[in-house]
Chain A
Amino acid sequence: DAGITQSPRHKVTETGTPVTLRCHQTENHRYMYWYRQDPGHGLRLIHYSYGVKDTDKGEVSDGYSVSRSKTEDFLLTLESATSSQTSVYFCAISKGQGYNYGYTFGSGTRLTVV
């Protein structure tokens, strides 16, 4: 939808293993975001990017890192997965140049850490 895809769609992983989620966009937008969604917590910002190699932390960044080596790709890495990171992860793009006209979200990645 609107040129943003996430992979994988589902993943089950073991505690302590590293995991990388990928977000790919085809529209050359500068701003990209990673959110997680948990029951009772809405969407919470993990990290965001405002350009190639330019990233910053959100409100729940502990245990996560990100990289953006190309405009189209924004990677989220769980350095050592824990059960508390079981969640649905959404990538989003913003069409404004730092002005949010409304996100377009990817379809999400459901991650289960066992």
Chain B
Amino acid sequence: EDKVVQSPLSLVVHEGDTVTLNCSYEVTNFRSLLWYKQEKKAPTFLFMLTSSGIEKKSGRLSSILDKKELFSILNITATQTGDSAIYLCAGDTNTNAGKSTFGDGTTLTVKP
């Protein structure tokens, strides 16, 4: 059975701090690792990672994948209160169906 584990489950930081969110996976026929941000409503897509060691970056967010050690990290620098959200990672499989196995998420709270 495929499994994705995120840590920590929750995190409280102050504005300006840098945070690192972790995601480890055991996914049969692994193809890609995806990160989403969920605020009050539906998750929104952040990154898709398919190759080891290549950093994806969007503003203050960046992510990298290690396919040998089966994990990914999401970094957020200079955090802002608007970064408060649940961050979800998901493993996608090479099954031509686009199905994903999600982790339980990390709840990030950024205090002013």
Give bound CA distance, A35 to B102, whole Å. 10
Residues of A in contact with B (beta carbons under 8 Å apart)? 1, 31, 33, 35, 40-45, 48, 50, 56, 58-59, 90, 94, 96, 98-108
Q: List 16 A-B contacts (CB under 8 A).
A: A31-B98, A33-B98, A35-B102, A42-B88, A42-B102, A48-B97, A59-B101, A90-B42, A96-B98, A99-B31, A99-B98, A100-B98, A103-B34, A103-B43, A105-B42, A107-B41
Residue B48 interfacial (CB < 8 Å): yes
Contacts of B4 in A (CB 8 A): 42
Are A42 and B105 in contact, CB atoms less than 8 angstroms apart?
Answer: yes
Number of A-B contacts (CB under 8 A): 68
Are B99 and A104 in contact, CB atoms less than 8 angstroms apart?
Answer: no
Which residue from chain A places its CB closest to the CB of B105 in the assembled complex?
A42
Residues of B in contact with A (beta carbons under 8 Å apart)? 4, 31-32, 34, 36, 41-45, 48, 88, 90, 92, 95-105
Evaluate whether A40 and B42 lie within 8 angstroms (CB atoms) in the complex, with A58-B99, A101-B48 already known.
Answer: no
Interface on chain B toward A: helix, strand, loop, or mixed SS? strand
* Distance to closest chain A CB from B23 (angstroms): 11
Contacts of A108 in B (CB 8 A): 41-42
Contacts of B95 in A (CB 8 A): 98
* Distance to closest chain B CB from A41 (angstroms): 6
* Distance to closest chain A CB from B91 (angstroms): 10
Contacts of B42 in A (CB 8 A): 1, 90, 105-108
Give bound CA distance, A50 to B98, whole Å. 9
Are B92 and A98 in contact, CB atoms less than 8 angstroms apart?
Answer: no
Which residue from chain A places its CB closest to the CB of B95 in the assembled complex?
A98
Contacts of B99 in A (CB 8 A): 33, 45, 48, 58, 100
Are B88 and A43 in contact, CB atoms less than 8 angstroms apart?
Answer: yes
Contacts of A56 in B (CB 8 A): 97
Pairs A-B, 10 closest by C-beta atoms: A102-B45, A105-B42, A98-B96, A100-B98, A43-B102, A42-B102, A94-B98, A42-B104, A100-B92, A31-B98
Contacts of B101 in A (CB 8 A): 45, 59
Give bound CA distance, A14 to B24, whole Å. 39
